[in-house]
Amino acid sequence: MQGFLTLEKGQVFEGEASSSWHAPIEGEVVFYTGMTGYQEVLTDPSYRGQIVVFTYPLIGNYGINEADSESNQPQVSGAVMLQCSDSASHYQATMTLKEYLHKWNVPFLTGVDTREVTKAIRTEGSCQAVMAHESLKPSDTKSIGQIFQAHDPEVKSYGKGEKHIALIDFGCKTSILDKLLEKDVQVTVVPFTKIKEVHQLNPNGVVLSNGPGDPKDASHYLTDLKEVLENYPALGICFGHQVMALAFGANTKKLAFGHRGANHPVKDLQSGQVFLTSQNHNYVVDRESLKHTVLETSFVNVNDGSVEGLMHPSKPILSAQFHPEANPGPEDAQWVIDEFFAMMSSKKGAKAYV
């Protein structure tokens, strides 16, 4: 069955459409450069409502398993691939990628020259696109407020331990929760809309999660967030890093086509070391706007110089634009979580650790 991906600027890419969908679907089209990790990408709430183009030519080799999902269902609006494997060559696989996408009625296209799509996005920037059985022009309507769709509205508790972490949910990946629980702590997941309830928990530390879309969608909650940050040791991850910056008076801006992949180099400004990171975001903290805040830049992106991390000079507060839990991706940055726990225990400023 013939299918088309039509970008906002008019470029049209033809492929073979999956049989599990009929009506056109629209969303922001983005590309992911990793060779593996498609299951995590498809289920990551940060991809909520987006059409993901996988640049690696063969996707689905090892199928879908029961352990690697970042939420309980796919979050993307659609997927675009050159080739999707018909078999699952891994002992943990429970179904093929095609079976999984059909099960959840996720539209996908195959036979598409994904490198050409990527070139178009890199040239014109991330944009709206339509997947359909004919070439249809996208509307002018942009997706907004995805965090209100992606987060869990209920407060939930996990694990046991002497330390208690409040995980503020903007659309949290399962792997962030899992990585915290590995530290033998109690974790209470608090939706960002109920951030005032953090004070009732009196936690030892606070983690601000990843999430989809524009961090300014959370503007209504920045005053409450600032109060939490002023009172508890804190770590911001991805979207959490961005809203942390906003809470302290900085600004954020949208990148042309974002950072998505598992091999983004980041430099630690204190040690001078460079490490590889997993990233998924459209927005970054505006470096110039930090001059009017107390926050200091701790990490920078080697490729484009964008801000990859922040720290407070005297309070136990730090952040990372990348994903230290690294699912999918390299484990080079997992030490950031260790530093947060060390900082939380001593309550010294982040500058003493990062």
Alpha carbon distances (Å) from 163 to 10, 112, 180, 188, 208: 54, 49, 11, 11, 17
Mind telling me the catalytic residues? 238, 323, 325
CA-only gyration radius of the chain, Å: 20
Cα within 13 Å of Cα(102), Cβ side: 11
Question: 């839990």: which residue's tokens?
Answer: 325
Task: Assign 183 to helix, strand or coil.
Answer: coil
Task: Tell me if residue 76 falls in helix, strand or coil.
Answer: coil
Distance, in Å, from the CA atom of 169 to the CA atom of 44, rounded to the nearest integer, reads 13
Q: Which tokens hold the place of 333? A: 């940055």
Lookup result for tokens 């509307």: 139
Residue with tokens 């974790």: 187
Residue 123 amino acid letter: T
CA angle, 336 then 340 then 345, to 5°: 150
Angle at 209 (CA atoms; ends 173, 256), nearest 5 degrees: 90
Rounded distance between C-alpha atoms, residue 101 and residue 242, angstroms: 31
C-alpha 222/C-alpha 218 separation (Å) is 7
Show the tokens assigned to 23.
């009506």
